[in-house]
């Protein structure tokens, strides 16, 4: 019974997460740059496993690897912490896996898959309903709220040179697009793996 509760909670959280991904994608679609978006990209890892990237935004500056966290409350943590904390006004506190580390895993296997030196930027995008405390940005890692996304892109575009042409972007899109169309068995195995971690 407890496990059923955990699985139902996981499904509800996934629905909230998908809504956050859509809102983030809408901002990227309307950003004033030539870019291509891929959602739910299943990158091969090892032993026939996969890691799922919420979103990729392929631009002339490089590839933005986007991890969406449609959370509310107050979020605190440090780049090197294994877990971050989400706190609510009613006193409820929950811990969750550091999304920077989560995205570092995505980037590691994406680099391996592409086998290229394309710049990769890590974007951790939280909901506007969230308050982020004591986070420091780095040159390639940005922890922001969704309402800060456009200005963060402006900053990155100002501070980085073009490295990809429109032709390059289309070529990378063609190379990565098949990873969004994996078999249902692959998606199911990935989700079951996540649910198993939640059970533990």
pLDDT tens-digit series, residues 49-80: 899 999 999 999 999 999 999 999 999 998 88
Per-residue pLDDT at 16: 57
Per-residue pLDDT at 15: 58
Per-residue pLDDT at 175: 96
- pLDDT band for position 7 (cuts 50, 70, 90): very low
Residue with the larger pLDDT of the pair 175 and 137: 175
Tokens of 90: 């009613």
Per-residue pLDDT at 14: 56
pLDDT tens-digit series, residues 11-41: 555 555 577 799 999 999 999 999 999 999 9
- How far, in Å, CA of 10 to CA of 143, rounded? 24
Torsion of CA 13, 132, 34, 183, to 10 degrees: -20
Q: Record the pTM.
A: 0.84
Per-residue pLDDT at 167: 97
| Residue showing tokens 């959280």 | 13
Contact in structure between 77 and 85 (CB atoms under 8 Å): yes
Per-residue pLDDT at 191: 53
Average pLDDT over the chain, rounded to an integer: 86
In angstroms, how far apart are the furthest CA atoms of the chain? Answer: 54
**Res 172 pLDDT > 90:** yes
- How far, in Å, CA of 161 to CA of 163, rounded? 6
Residues 6 or more apart in contact with residue 111 via CB below 8 angstroms? 120
pLDDT tens-digit series, residues 103-157: 999 999 999 999 888 999 999 999 999 999 878 777 889 999 999 999 999 999 9
In the chain, domain spans:
2-193
Per-residue pLDDT at 182: 73
């Amino acid at each position: 019974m407890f496990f059923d509760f955990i699985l139902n909670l996981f499904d509800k959280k996934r629905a909230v997460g998908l809504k956050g991904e859509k809102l983030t994608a809408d901002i990227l679609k309307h950003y004033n740059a030539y870019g291509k978006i891929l959602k739910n990209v299943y990158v091969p890892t090892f032993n026939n496993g996969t890691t799922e990237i919420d979103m990729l935004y392929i631009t002339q500056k490089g590839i933005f690897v986007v991890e969406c966290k449609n959370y509310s409350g107050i979020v605190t943590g440090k780049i090197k912490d294994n877990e971050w904390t989400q706190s609510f006004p009613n006193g409820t506190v929950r811990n969750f896996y550091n999304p920077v580390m989560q995205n570092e895993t995505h980037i590691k296997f994406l680099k391996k898959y592409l086998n290229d030196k394309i710049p990769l930027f890590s974007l951790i995008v939280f909901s506007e309903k969230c308050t982020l405390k004591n986070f420091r940005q780095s040159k390639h890692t940005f922890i922001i709220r969704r309402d800060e996304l456009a200005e963060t892109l402006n900053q990155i575009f100002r501070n980085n040179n073009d490295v990809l042409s429109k032709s390059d972007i289309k070529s990378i899109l063609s190379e990565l697009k098949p990873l969004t169309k994996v078999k249902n068995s692959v998606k199911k195995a990935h989700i079951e793996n996540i649910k198993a971690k939640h059970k533990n």
